[in-house]
Amino acid sequence: METQLLTEQEVARACSFLKKGEIVGMPTETVYGLAANGLNPEAVQRIFQAKGRPQDNPLILHIPSASWLPRYCEHIPKEAWLLAEHFWPGPLTMVLEAKHTVPSVVRANLPTVGLRCPQHPLALALIEACDFPIAAPSGNVSGKPSPTTAAAMLEDMQGKIPAILQGGPCQVGVESTIISLGEEITLLRAGGVPVEEMEALLGKEILRCKAEEVEKPLAPGMKYRHYAPQAPVTVVCGENSAAWIAKEAAPTDGIICFAEYASLFSGFPTQIIGKEADYHAQAQQVFSALRYFDDTSVKKIWAQSPREEGLGLAVANRLHKASGFQLVYLEDVT
């Protein structure tokens, strides 16, 4: 099967694939997703096959507005309505109690379901044309960095899916923030909406679980790596990270650094992901930087870690996971 690239005029074609139970690439403001009719279990099953995704990892449903929440969720707390009002359409996924209208394959048999209203105009147009919720994980092969362009998604999905709807490079660049709303509100994944902004809106704390605790190793003795390029990654945290990397790295190693420090790495294969304080630029570029090195012969990749605040938390988390938590913490000298 040749994977077709559809233009923004071809939303109706993308929709007709989905209506037939096929799966297609869909642009969102966070990353490209692998879309299926979320109410058709056979179609949803195709997502797991194409990605090589473990069956016990649930999918999120994409809906066109908060007014669809009661179709798929039970006992919606007032905080969910408030968050939806402020952050939807946008990069926030809320995990709520599921109704039986949500097929169990979407939820991986959990009693809950993740819901998100995306901001990309083509994603919204596609959901509205289909008139059903779209189940979509990130459009990468399981374990690889998420795709932020149609070309990156094509690298992973060529020949496996009939089409990708092209919507330009993703504006946010990291996936949605995921929170669960039960008795407590808990952060399950840092992402495009900074937790601090949600806490300010709600006037209460959102519990953080460490990424290491959420993402359990797949097998005993095996370190969990997600978003991972072929070469092993080491992430260095602290204000002297660039100088430290410049001393440790072999000339053939790949470097992911902030713009201010690029001159330390002339001659190295380097990906600059924006200025040190520009978390927005870093989020836009972190996945393409990780993917870039797969077309090179680097044996090892070193990355500077952003501070774990605001959108920087999401960027740091993607890099830390890509390294399988191979982290070096340097002491700051003040």
Residues of the shown chain interacting with ligand TXA in the complex, contacts defined by CB under 6 A: 28, 30-31, 33, 57-60, 91, 93, 95, 107, 110, 112-114, 116, 118, 136-138, 175-176, 178, 188
- CB-count burial class (<10 Å; 0-12, 13-18, 19+) for 86: middle
Q: How far is CA 266 from the centre of its chain?
A: 31
Taking the complex as a whole, the smallest distance from the CB of residue 105 to ligand TXA amounts, in Å, to 12
- Between 138 and 284, CB nearer to Mg ion: 138
- Between 127 and 303, CB nearer to ligand TXA: 127
Binding mask 205-244 toward Mg ion (x if CB under 5 A, else -) reads ----------------------------------------
Which residues have C-beta within 8 Å of that of residue 235, sequence separation ≥ 6? 302, 303, 304, 305, 316, 319, 320, 322, 323, 326, 327, 328
Stretch that binds Mg ion, among 57-65, 115-123, 130-138, 292-300 (CB under 5 A): 130-138
H-type alpha helices, the chain: 11-19, 41-51, 69-72, 78-87, 104-107, 121-130, 150-157, 195-202, 211-214, 241-248, 279-292, 311-322
The Cα 179–Cα 172 span in angstroms is 18
- Between 156 and 175, CB nearer to ligand TXA: 175
Which one of Mg ion, ligand TXA, none is in contact with 178 (Cβ closer than 5 to 8 A by kind)?
ligand TXA
Taking the complex as a whole, the smallest distance from the CB of residue 60 to ligand TXA amounts, in Å, to 5
Taking the complex as a whole, the smallest distance from the CB of residue 11 to ligand TXA amounts, in Å, to 17
Taking the complex as a whole, the smallest distance from the CB of residue 210 to ligand TXA amounts, in Å, to 15
Taking the complex as a whole, the smallest distance from the CB of residue 32 to Mg ion amounts, in Å, to 11
> What Å distances lie between residue 325 and 164, 214, 233, 253, 272, CA to CA?
32, 13, 9, 18, 21
262 and 327 Cβ atoms separated by less than 8 Å: no
Which one of Mg ion, ligand TXA, none is in contact with 31 (Cβ closer than 5 to 8 A by kind)?
ligand TXA
240 and 331 Cβ atoms separated by less than 8 Å: no
| 288 touches Mg ion (CB under 5 A) | no
Binding mask 132-151 toward Mg ion (x if CB under 5 A, else -) reads ------x-------------
